[in-house]
């Protein structure tokens, strides 16, 4: 049984009329649970309703790429939403939150500060509501870790992790698991593949980040895209195949990896255990 700890099943790429059947397809392949993170105030009700409809779990938060459009009172609204749904067993984390210093416009000094303001405020909310966090990490691992040292949440997931072994260990020391997905299916991603193969098995969770980060077998090259071929849409049904790649890198059976990474997900997102 696999756990997809990060999939945006409310994204426009997934037709709301077909998403139940699509989710069933993934379930038939052994994807027992998906975690659907929110990205902005406007989609909080959607991800909650979807998690209930699909028998999955969700997180509520403001994603760093949505910070430019977010208002300060969205943080008050998040506090209220976390309080309103505190007894909802499907609410498993505050997320997706974090920092993105890869997108040039978000790396400008004023926007770095704005992102940091939302990140730290959401760490405080996670602490207040006793929830782990799901972190977006892109060129921002050290800044995220600084926030966690000052405002520890007890843990969560550093999603789509692609940092150094030292940064990985620093997240692990803060109670985090590291999320790996489609990126490790690319042979040229040597550093990432080495990290995924060498980190302690306890530290790993799997994710698709659907509809994004397509695995190698769905990836459409920039040249083909400029010729009009659309980028492949990632989906939770790809998780077992992505997991099989990681299992092979580690010299493990796929079942053993599925079992271990699902147990890790339940450890870092404890409310998942109650759903199982």
Q: How many CB atoms lie within 10 A of CB 124?
A: 15
Of all residues in this chain, which one has the CB nearest to Zn ion in the complex? 96
Q: From the CB of 3, what's the least distance to Zn ion, in Å?
A: 15
| Contacts with 161 (C-beta within 8 Å, 6 or more apart), sequence order | 137, 168, 171, 178, 179, 180, 195
Of 10 and 96, CB closest to Zn ion: 96
Q: From the CB of 159, what's the least distance to Zn ion, in Å?
A: 6
Spatial separation of the C-alpha atoms in residues 170 and 176, rounded to whole Å: 9
Of 4 and 96, CB closest to Zn ion: 96
Q: From the CB of 252, what's the least distance to Zn ion, in Å?
A: 26
Spatial separation of the C-alpha atoms in residues 22 and 19, rounded to whole Å: 5
Of 211 and 240, CB closest to Zn ion: 211
Of 56 and 96, CB closest to Zn ion: 96
CA 24 and chain centroid, separation: 21
DSSP state of 4: E
What are the tokens at 93? Answer: 């984390």
Of 74 and 96, CB closest to Zn ion: 96
Strands, E assignment, 61-203: 91-100, 133-138, 156-159, 176-180
Q: H or E element: which one contains 168? A: helix 165-173
Of 35 and 272, CB closest to Zn ion: 35
Contact positions vs Zn ion (CB under 5 A): 96
Q: From the CB of 35, what's the least distance to Zn ion, in Å?
A: 10
Q: From the CB of 126, what's the least distance to Zn ion, in Å?
A: 17
Q: From the CB of 248, what's the least distance to Zn ion, in Å?
A: 26
Given a contact cutoff of 8 angstroms between Cβ atoms, the answer to whether 275 and 33 are in contact is: yes
């Amino acid at each position: 049984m696999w756990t997809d700890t990060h999939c945006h099943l409310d994204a426009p790429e997934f037709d709301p009329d077909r998403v139940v059947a699509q989710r069933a397809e993934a379930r038939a392949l052994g994807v027992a649970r998906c975690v659907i993170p929110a990205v902005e105030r406007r989609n909080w009700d959607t991800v909650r309703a979807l998690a209930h409809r699909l028998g999955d779990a969700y997180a509520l938060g403001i994603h760093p790429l949505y910070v430019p459009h977010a208002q300060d009172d969205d943080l008050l609204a998040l506090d209220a939403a976390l309080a309103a749904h505190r007894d909802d067993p499907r609410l498993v984390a505050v997320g997706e939150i974090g920092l993105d210093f890869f997108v040039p416009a978000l790396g400008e000094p004023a926007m770095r500060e704005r992102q940091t303001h939302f990140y730290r405020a959401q760490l405080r909310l996670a602490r207040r509501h006793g929830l782990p966090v799901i972190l977006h990490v892109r060129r921002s691992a050290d800044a995220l870790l600084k926030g966690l040292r000052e405002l520890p949440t007890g843990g969560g997931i550093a999603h789509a992790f692609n940092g150094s072994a030292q940064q990985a260990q620093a997240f692990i020391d803060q109670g985090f698991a590291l999320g790996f997905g489609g990126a490790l299916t690319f042979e040229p991603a040597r550093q990432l593949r080495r990290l995924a193969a060498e980190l302690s098995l306890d530290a790993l969770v799997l994710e698709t980040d659907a509809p994004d980060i397509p695995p190698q077998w769905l990836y459409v090259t920039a040249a083909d895209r400029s010729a009009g071929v659309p980028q492949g849409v990632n989906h939770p049904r790809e998780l077992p195949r992505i997991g099989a790649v990681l299992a092979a890198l580690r010299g493990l059976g796929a079942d053993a990896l599925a079992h271990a990474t699902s147990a890790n997900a339940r450890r870092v997102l404890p409310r998942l255990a109650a759903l199982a």
